[in-house]
Amino acid sequence: MTRAFVIVLDSVGCGGAPDAHKFFNNKTVPDTGANTLAHIAQACADGDAEDGRSGPLSMPSLDGLGLGAAIRLASGDETPGMTATPTGLWGAAEEVSPGKDTPTGHWEIAGVPLPWDWGYFPDTVPAFPADVTAAICRAAGVDGILGDKHASGTVILNELGAEHIRTGLPIVYTSVDSVIQIAAHEEHFGLERLYALCEAIAPMVHDMRIGRVIARPFLGSEAEGFTRTTNRRDYAMTPPEPTLCDWVTDAGGKVHAIGKIGDIFAHRGISSVQKGADADLMEYLLASFDSAQDGDLVFANFVEFDTKYGHRRDIAGYASALEWFDSQVPRVLKKMRDGDLVLFTADHGNDPSWVGTDHTRERVPVVAAGLGACEIGQVGFSDIGASVAAHLGLKNRGAGRSFL
């Protein structure tokens, strides 16, 4: 028996998606050519990412496993600063699902491509139909909502945070993803009240094939500014079929969710959940090597690349986050024991050099330690789930084929 550790670097794509022209930022600009990792590496090499860090992108550990090679394979783009000869398993994965959001990417990685099209809200004001707004008002006990449009979650707090405190009305917004996000002040509105509101409207919203209701609690004041807290909670639709998480638990193993993995899978097939800032998650991941048993899956998502830097189009911040993560990788690899598979991948792109503030359709890197040097080439997202299942000796393989 063996153990598997699947570590998703949220939004750390590597370009080259053949269907990128079907996905957009700013309504009209296709994602063709977007490449989160390569464009960050290029900006660093050009001296355009000097805020809080300096010089070429430094990711020696993941590059050593095969990250630079994976980017070049996926996209043909240059990878300045990342030119090591791989010592790990490496390749790039392509998504087939019609969506570039987090649940869609994770479900397909876990063996289940999306069998439907998500519902979306139009980029108009108001964005939400009257019955949705009425349901929110009823559940919150208020007589209106603020926002009611497509927005960036940090920008809308600056715009409406003070009015929210003054009026007590929740801030409700969406994006190109299939989401309703509700932002409310933890103290003025109340954290539990925000959770109860999101939970109450989730069934109606899911019936409209809207993938998630996201509670976006924040703190602060008009004078100090408003900051989102780590108490975000996602009320996601249940995956359409059993996923890798269910296969593991059905076979008697445990799935240890680190970060928002539990929420993404609507807590189906999830044995334990640990949440927090990415720095905390790294410690939970390290500790999981001491507690995970044979047959278990540790499934982690590091979200700050996406939420703090990708959506904010902050290239230097994104580069710093990548460099921090890479500096932790030797600690992870040292914890491995014989039979462990440790696989790093991503769920979509979020190129901080791109227009707009939304995800970008990209291939994602697949690099792994524990199986020696091996090029797997171009694979599908669901092949990752099939390979992890094969590694754990599971019968179910989902839609993919194992590359092991």
**Residue 225 Ramachandran class (φ > 0 left, ψ -120 to 50 alpha, else beta):** left
Q: Closest Cα partner for 222 from 170, 162, 155?
A: 162
Of 9, 69, 160, 179, the one binding ligand R1P (CB under 6 A) is: 179
Does position 274 interact with ligand R1P (CB under 6 A)? The reply is: no
Annotated binding-site residue? 359: yes
Does position 177 interact with ligand R1P (CB under 6 A)? The reply is: yes
Q: How far is CA 6 from CA 64, 132, 309, 330, in A?
A: 18, 37, 22, 16
In the complex, minimum distance from the CB of residue 230 to Mn ion, in angstroms, rounded to a whole number: 15
Does position 358 interact with Mn ion (CB under 5 A)? The reply is: no
Does position 311 interact with ligand R1P (CB under 6 A)? The reply is: yes
Does position 360 interact with ligand R1P (CB under 6 A)? The reply is: no
Does position 263 interact with Mn ion (CB under 5 A)? The reply is: no
Which does residue 10 bind out of Mn ion, ligand R1P, none, counting CB within 5 to 8 angstroms by kind? Mn ion
Does position 361 interact with ligand R1P (CB under 6 A)? The reply is: no
Q: 188-227: which residues touch ligand R1P (CB under 6 A)?
A: 214
Binding window for ligand R1P (CB under 6 A); candidates: 41-49, 107-115, 126-134, 177-185 = 177-185
Does position 175 interact with ligand R1P (CB under 6 A)? The reply is: yes
Which does residue 362 bind out of ligand R1P, Mn ion, none, counting CB within 5 to 8 angstroms by kind? none
Task: Check: CB of residue 388 under 8 Å from CB of residue 398.
Answer: no
With respect to ligand R1P, which residue has the nearer C-beta, 72 or 228?
228
In sequence order, what are the residues at sequence separation of 6 or more whose Cβ sits closer than 8 angstroms to the Cβ of residue 29?
A: 354, 355, 356
Q: Could you tell me how many residues of this chain bind Mn ion (CB under 5 A)?
A: 4
Of 99, 153, 211, 259, the one binding ligand R1P (CB under 6 A) is: 153
Annotated binding-site residue? 256: no
With respect to Mn ion, which residue has the nearer C-beta, 7 or 392?
7
Question: What are the structure tokens assigned to 3, written together?
Answer: 């153990």
Instruction: Measure the CA–CA gap between 270 and 266, rounded to whole angstroms.
Output: 9
Strand 3-9 and strand 340-345: pairing? parallel
Annotated binding-site residue? 306: yes
Q: 86-115: which residues touch Mn ion (CB under 5 A)?
A: 102
Can you name the residues that pair with 227 across neighbouring β-strands?
Answer: 219
Which does residue 181 bind out of Mn ion, ligand R1P, none, counting CB within 5 to 8 angstroms by kind? ligand R1P
Instruction: Measure the CA–CA gap between 199 and 80, rounded to whole angstroms.
Output: 46
Strand 225-228 and strand 255-258: pairing? unpaired
Kindly write out the interface string for residues 4-23 of this chain, putting x where it contacts Mn ion by CB under 5 A and - elsewhere: ------x-------------
Which does residue 256 bind out of Mn ion, ligand R1P, none, counting CB within 5 to 8 angstroms by kind? none
Annotated binding-site residue? 326: no
Q: CB nearest ligand R1P: which residue?
A: 153
Which does residue 153 bind out of ligand R1P, Mn ion, none, counting CB within 5 to 8 angstroms by kind? ligand R1P
Which does residue 152 bind out of ligand R1P, Mn ion, none, counting CB within 5 to 8 angstroms by kind? ligand R1P
Does position 106 interact with ligand R1P (CB under 6 A)? The reply is: no
Sign of CA dihedral 43, 48, 49, 53: positive
Across the beta sheet with 3-9, the strand order is: 272-274, 255-258, 297-302, 3-9, 340-345, 364-369, 89-94, 374-380
The answer, yes or no, to whether the previous bond of 126 is cis (omega within 30 of 0) is: yes
Residue 345 exposure: Cα atoms within 13 Å on the Cβ side: 34
Number of other residues whose CB lies within 10 A of the CB of residue 50: 13
**Residue 172 Ramachandran class (φ > 0 left, ψ -120 to 50 alpha, else beta):** beta
Task: Check: CB of residue 39 under 8 Å from CB of residue 75.
Answer: no
Annotated binding-site residue? 117: no
Q: CB nearest Mn ion: which residue?
A: 102
Number of other residues whose CB lies within 10 A of the CB of residue 164: 24
Q: 282-341: which residues touch Mn ion (CB under 5 A)?
A: 306
Q: Closest Cα partner for 208 from 315, 118, 288?
A: 118
Which residues does the annotation place in the binding site? 10, 306, 311, 347-348, 359
Give contact residues for Mn ion (rule: CB under 5 A): 10, 102, 306, 347
- Binding residues (CB under 6 A) for ligand R1P: these are 102, 152-153, 175, 177, 179, 181, 214, 307, 311
User: Which residue ranges make up the annotated binding site for Mn(2+)?
Assistant: 10, 306, 311, 347-348, 359
